[in-house]
């Protein structure tokens, strides 16, 4: 069966510090991968998605970047965190590009920037 992992589960970082959040998927090959952010009082916002190794698309301009060094690994990074980067970060995966496909979400990382 497929599983998706995210770490760390929680993170408290000072403004201006770097960030690296990791997401890995097990039990499937060549998944589509997604990074979402859920800020307090706001909906779920798609940040990045990837259809293959080294292929990253950004949905919104921001302070963050994403990379996919391996087929089932997706990393979210920042060189210098801002207060506005605080939120709940969710990674998700899907397989098919079809009307019957859903996305499967990881447990999330709670990031607090102070």
Partner 1 sequence: KQEVTQIPAALSVPEGENLVLNCSFTDSAIYNLQWFRQDPGKGLTSLLLIQSSQREQTSGRLNASLDKSSGRSTLYIAASQPGDSATYLCALMNAGNMLTFGGGTRLMVKP
Residue 81, classed as helix, strand or coil, is coil
- Site track for partner 1 across 80-109, x = CB under 8 A: --------x-x-x-x--xxxxxxxxxxxx-
**Cα 53 to the center of its chain, rounded Å:** 15
- State the number of binding residues for partner 1 (CB under 8 A): 25
Residues 6+ apart with CB under 8 A from 100: none
Report, in Å, the least distance between residue 16 CB and partner 1.
26
Residues in touch with partner 1 (CB under 8 A): 32, 42-46, 49, 59, 88, 90, 92, 94, 97-108, 110
């Amino acid at each position: 069966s497929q599983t998706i992992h995210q770490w760390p589960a929680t993170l408290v970082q000072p403004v201006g510090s770097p960030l690296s959040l990791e997401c890995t998927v097990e039990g499937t090959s060549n998944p589509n991968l997604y990074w979402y952010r859920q800020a307090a009082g706001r909906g779920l916002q798609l940040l990045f998605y990837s259809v293959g190794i080294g292929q990253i698309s950004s949905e919104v301009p921001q302070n963050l970047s994403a990379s996919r060094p391996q087929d089932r690994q997706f990393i979210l990074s920042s060189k210098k965190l801002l207060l506005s980067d605080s939120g709940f970060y969710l990674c998700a995966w899907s397989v098919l590009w079809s009307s019957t496909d859903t996305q499967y979400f990881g447990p999330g990382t709670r990031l607090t920037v102070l």
